[in-house]
Amino acid sequence: MRSVTGRKNVAEMCADLLQDESNLSGAWCEAAVWPQDTDEARDYIEKCSRTGVKLTVSGGLTGIAGGALPEGGSVISASALKDIRLLDNGNIAAGAGVIIEELNAFISANTDGLFYPPDTTEETASVGGTIATNASGADSFLYGATRNWVEGLKIILPGGKLLDIKRGTDLFENRKCTHPLLGTIHLPPLRSEQPPKNAAGYYVQPDMDLIDLFIGSEGTLGFIVEAELKLAPVPEYVIDLAVFPDNQKSFWELYDSLLHAPEPLRIRALEMMDDRCMDFLRSHPGELPLPPEGALFCLLLRAEADSDEHLEETLVTLDDMLASSNSNPETAWGGFEPSERKRIKDFRHALPEAVNHCIAESRRKCPSIHKFGSDGAVELSRFEDYFARVTGILEERGLPFVIFGHAGQGHIHANAMPENPRQMILAGEAMREIAKAAVEMGGTVSAEHGLGKLKLDYLKLMYSEDEIKGMEAIRRVIDPNLLFGAGPNI
């Protein structure tokens, strides 16, 4: 097994392990290992358990919340676990270190018309990391998050034992589940049900499947070595559209009608960019087309159709919906041809790229500058109010910002782009206010990226002391010495 020992050696020889996409600095550890298979991982974890060495699990290091960054102890990386195979039942078994790009390539080469639906955007994220964060993406509107597609997991538990678990075999009953390798786990009663799209805290539903406790547990309950993943049939047609209403009323009317769109429409993704995104793209032109003149907001939608007839019905229905919300179909972009779909994809990606470029410019003047991103979501009936509140919180502080995200799931990312140290402080305050606002509106402080180390203290905004103690008690059953997730993780 490849390994590097000594704090200085790790910092010099594998500095990439000490950075992810969270902007957190100061990560360090005494050793790093890259097991090649389950046995090597098991032996190392068992040894760490005996000697009391803390462990941080590392995947593709694309995480935004810093969960993979060590604060001492050892890092165990899944990146060498690359086995991938098609199973007799049509599912895929993938090593935790397979990255999403490799998974997708394997599926297209080895199956007939199937795909892996969690469209988690960043294709260098690993299978293990996306399961540990229950990653989701634009298509989660129709297909749900990663959780919906995980049928089995092999996990090395903190003591070094291998848990091989399949969906449907171990269920909680009245909040209690007993498993020979784990003991008895009790789920804490929560004051209110967790929101449907939620990445904050352990997953807790009264009669849930035990496997779901591990999905989204952010590297705190063991080392995922392999997953069995379910696939879905590729639809005959996928239509991508960018619609550009020229006033807020039309935008919200169209949003509402698409949200409740009846058959034959099968909406797969419903995303938005606000007016500041439009202005920002105009003032940071790249090689891509600019939003049409007069466009105030942008609604990005993806729909599916199963036949030529269904496609025709879908296009006619969408045209009617645009007209009845006074959104001019003439200014909309997109369609089902690959070139039209690519234009939308490029447009969607142009925004984060422009934001990153702008941050890099500010950083040249002030090296400590970084972007701040919110990740809260609320129930759909309160989404318009939440959007207004988030806008107000950032405006009050005079911060440069844009808002975009998964409107169809009440979930937005407000990106604040501070230009100086004072604005860095204000942006931090604003992010906390936004998280609080989401909770006050019955939502979550994190719908997608998890809390990791960066946002761990947001847990207290969402859960009571007893609820947090209940989650800690779950962790102590599985990891009595709190070996995994070194640092202040849940």
Cα–Cα dist 182/199, whole Å: 23
| One-letter amino acid for residue 68 of the chain | A
State which of residues 55, 132, 277, 321 lies at the interface with ligand FAD (CB under 6 A): 132
Least separation, in Å, of the C-beta of 427 and ligand FAD? Answer: 19
Name the one range near ligand FAD by CB under 6 A: 84-92, 126-134, 268-276, 386-394. 126-134
Q: Print the binding letters for residues 26-65 with ligand FAD: x by CB under 6 A, - otherwise.
A: -------------------------------xxxxxxxx-
Task: Using the minimum distance from each CB to ligand FAD, give the nearer residue, 227 or 305.
Answer: 227
CB of 409 to ligand FAD, least distance (A): 11
Which residues ranging from 363 to 392 are in contact with ligand FAD (CB under 6 A)?
none
Q: Give the Cα separation of 354 and 20 in Å (integer).
A: 20
Stretch that binds ligand FAD, among 120-128, 234-242, 246-254, 256-264 (CB under 6 A): 120-128
CB nearer to ligand FAD: pick between 121 and 317: 121
Per-residue binding letters, 451-490, with ligand FAD (x by CB under 6 A): -x--------------------------------------
Contacts of 263 (CB under 8 A, 6+ apart): none
In the complex, residue closest to ligand FAD by CB: 129
Q: Where in 159-218 is the site for ligand FAD (CB under 6 A)?
A: 218
Minimum distance from CB of 298 to ligand FAD (Å)? Answer: 17
Q: Is residue 158 part of the contact set for ligand FAD (CB under 6 A)? A: no
Q: Does 21 bind ligand FAD (CB under 6 A)?
A: yes
Nearer to ligand FAD, 73 or 137 (CB): 137
User: Does the footprint of ligand FAD cover residue 281 (CB under 6 A)?
Assistant: no
Among 102, 271, 448, 467, binds ligand FAD (CB under 6 A): 448
- Residue from 152, 219, 376, 410 binding ligand FAD (CB under 6 A): 219
Under rule CB under 6 A, how many of the chain's residues touch ligand FAD? 34
Q: Compute the least distance from the CB of residue 22 to ligand FAD, in Å.
A: 8
| Window 67-106: contact mask with ligand FAD (x via CB under 6 A) | xx---------x-----------------x----------
The whole-angstrom distance between residue 425's C-alpha and the CA centroid of its chain comes to 25
| Closest to ligand FAD by CB, 58 or 250 | 58
Binding segment for ligand FAD among 25-33, 127-135, 201-209, 244-252 (CB under 6 A)?
Answer: 127-135
Which of 91, 133, 374, 423 contacts ligand FAD by CB under 6 A?
A: 133
CA distance 41 to 44: 5
**The amino acid at 233:** P
Q: How far is the CB of 369 from ligand FAD (least distance, A)?
A: 18
Shorter beta-carbon distance to ligand FAD: residue 371 or 397: 371
Interface positions with ligand FAD (CB under 6 A): 20-21, 57-64, 67-68, 78, 96, 120-122, 125-126, 128-130, 132-133, 135-137, 218-219, 223-224, 448-449, 452
